[in-house]
């Protein structure tokens, strides 16, 4: 297999000046964006097209990165049984950990009760503000979700921006190449070489990451203002603290059992995490995350399958948010849920969090889908958190990214395709 180029790496050499590290540049850009948005909100708001342009450029390369990585990985696997085993283990891990995230959100909401005492009358809420999200949630049924995985044509999967459609076509293509065998060797070599070119393209695009982070943060602060956080600071603080504890305790324990440190992994992924923080988009970090995990010793076939699947099915941060936000709305509106109703809410959330996978703005949309099935909690209550959802989306994305990185390393270890020496060198152990 042709060696790929590490993307997003900030290890440019021991004597490299500090300002040449990507994570330093992104951090400075975030701080500059906050200052611009706070001091000149009109200028900050005008940065939106620049932020959108960077996200669009990143999304432009996501499909070819996933397709080439996964097709190459499947073609190099020892057999199709290995592919099925990796997928089965990935889904087992995703269901277990993401369900645990939902339970933790439920427990924290009942313990802290961030919405208690607000005494909001649901009749006074403006339901039109969230009507669009409810409409999208109604289309996110399981049957519609499954049908949407199948693209119109193999080429359209690469052009329409659906991660699951790209996965579908890539898996079928990889299986077909594997079944052909020796005659397909030139095709495999071509795919490997194309992957090198695409990853070099991603490396070039990532040089613009500080600009994208600056523009996105300037727009967010300029448009929403710093003061909006004070409105629902309790909910925001509770969500951030819960997510941090989930990462350090739950994911930390999983990492320790797999033989690595969660803190060292976070330090290793600092460039990608800062990029997510600045752009509030986990998709912006998907291509460099794939390359970083491969550089950390994870077998490319496992990375190519687990990371894209995780972006749709392993949303730990989103799951914590869903149960926490649902109970916040119930508490704010004075709705006392019984244990049975909370368990029903949990059950619906487990399904809806998978049924709306891959939907843009999935956190808010899956919350709408969950509340629509549990009539005890007014859907209109989502208007209470609409103003600060933008700030919580950043924490959701950060938690999701860390969760998927941990999942990939763990599953690579289960499969016996994790290079421990490479992992230790990458994590500085």
pLDDT tens column, 55-87: 788 778 878 887 887 788 777 766 667 777 888
Q: How confident is the model at residue 247 (pLDDT cuts 50, 70, 90)?
A: very high
Alpha-helix residue ranges (DSSP H) falling in 246-315: 252-257, 262-268, 270-279, 286-295, 300-313
Give the pLDDT score at 328.
83
Spatial separation of the C-alpha atoms in residues 177 and 190, rounded to whole Å: 12
146 or 53: which carries more pLDDT confidence? 53
Closest CA to 215 of 24, 29, 19: 29
For the entire predicted model, the pTM comes to 0.75
At the fourth CATH level, the homologous superfamily of domain 18-426 is Sodium:dicarboxylate symporter (1.10.3860.10)
Give the pLDDT score at 354.
59
Contact, 80 vs 175, CB < 8 A? yes
Q: How confident is the model at residue 409 (pLDDT cuts 50, 70, 90)?
A: very high
Contact, 342 vs 376, CB < 8 A? no
Q: 28 phi and psi, to 5 degrees?
A: -60, -40
Q: 261 phi and psi, to 5 degrees?
A: -100, 130
CA 122 vs. chain centroid, Å, equals 32
Sign of the Cα pseudo-torsion (86, 91, 94, 95, in order): negative
Spatial separation of the C-alpha atoms in residues 314 and 319, rounded to whole Å: 9
In this predicted structure, the answer to whether residue 18 has a pLDDT above a threshold of 70 is no
Give the pLDDT score at 356.
45
Q: Token pair 């695009």 is at which residue?
A: 205
Give the pLDDT score at 358.
43
Name residue 298's beta-bridge partners. 418
The pLDDT of 274-280, averaged and rounded, is 79
Sign of the Cα pseudo-torsion (133, 138, 144, 145, in order): positive
Q: 418 phi and psi, to 5 degrees?
A: -105, 120
What integer best gives the mean pLDDT of the chain? 78
The CA distances from residue 424 to 264, 410, 420, in Å, are: 10, 14, 6
Give the pLDDT score at 249.
93
State what percent of residues in the chain have pLDDT above 90. 14
Give the pLDDT score at 251.
95
Q: Token pair 């990165």 is at which residue?
A: 65
CA 222 vs. chain centroid, Å, equals 25
- Which has the minimum average pLDDT: 3-12, 195-204, 321-330? 3-12
Q: How many residues does the chain have?
A: 429
The pLDDT of 291-307, averaged and rounded, is 88
CA 38 vs. chain centroid, Å, equals 28
The pLDDT of 333-348, averaged and rounded, is 78
Contact, 25 vs 19, CB < 8 A? yes
Q: How confident is the model at residue 130 (pLDDT cuts 50, 70, 90)?
A: low
The pLDDT of 90-116, averaged and rounded, is 86
């Amino acid at each position: 297999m042709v060696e790929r180029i590490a993307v997003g790496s900030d290890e440019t050499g021991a004597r490299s000046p500090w300002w040449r590290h990507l994570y330093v540049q992104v951090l400075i850009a975030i701080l500059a964006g906050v200052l611009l948005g706070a001091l000149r909100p009109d200028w900050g708001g005008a940065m939106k097209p620049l932020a959108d342009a960077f996200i669009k450029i990143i999304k432009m390369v996501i499909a070819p990165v996933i397709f080439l990585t996964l097709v190459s990985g499947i073609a190099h696997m020892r057999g199709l049984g290995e592919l099925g085993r990796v997928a089965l283990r990935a889904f087992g891990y995703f269901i277990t950990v993401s369900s645990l995230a939902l339970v933790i959100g439920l427990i924290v909401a009942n313990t802290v009760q961030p919405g208690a005492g607000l005494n909001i009358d649901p009749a006074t809420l403006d339901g039109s503000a969230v009507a669009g999200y409810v409409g999208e949630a109604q289309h996110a049924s399981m049957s519609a979700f499954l049908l949407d995985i199948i693209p119109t044509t193999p080429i359209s999967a690469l052009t329409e921006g659906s991660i699951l459609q790209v996965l579908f076509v890539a898996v079928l293509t990889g299986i077909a190449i594997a079944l052909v065998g020796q005659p397909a060797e030139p095709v495999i070599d071509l795919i490997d070489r194309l992957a090198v070119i695409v990853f070099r393209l991603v490396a070039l695009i990532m040089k613009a990451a500080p600009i994208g982070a600056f523009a996105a943060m300037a727009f967010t602060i300029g448009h929403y203002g710093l003061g909006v956080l004070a409105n629902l600071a309790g909910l925001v603080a509770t969500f951030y603290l819960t997510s941090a504890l989930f990462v350090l305790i739950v994911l930390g324990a999983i990492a320790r059992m797999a033989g690595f440190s969660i803190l060292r992994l976070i330090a290793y992924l600092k460039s990608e995490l800062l990029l997510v923080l600045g752009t509030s988009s986990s998709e912006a970090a998907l291509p460099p995350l794939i390359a970083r995990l491969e550089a950390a010793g994870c077998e490319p076939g496992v990375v190519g399958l687990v990371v894209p699947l995780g972006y749709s099915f392993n949303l730990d941060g989103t799951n914590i948010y869903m149960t926490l936000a649902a109970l916040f709305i119930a508490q704010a509106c004075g709705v006392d849920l019984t244990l049975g109703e909370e368990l029903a809410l949990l059950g619906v959330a487990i399904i809806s969090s998978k049924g709306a996978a891959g939907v843009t703005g999935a956190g808010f949309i899956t919350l709408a889908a969950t509340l629509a099935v549990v009539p005890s909690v007014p859907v209109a209550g989502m208007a209470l958190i609409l103003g600060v959802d933008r700030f919580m989306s950043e924490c959701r994305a950060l938690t999701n990214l860390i969760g998927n990185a941990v999942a990939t390393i763990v599953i690579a270890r289960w499969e016996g395709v994790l290079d421990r020496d490479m992992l230790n060198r990458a994590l500085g152990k």
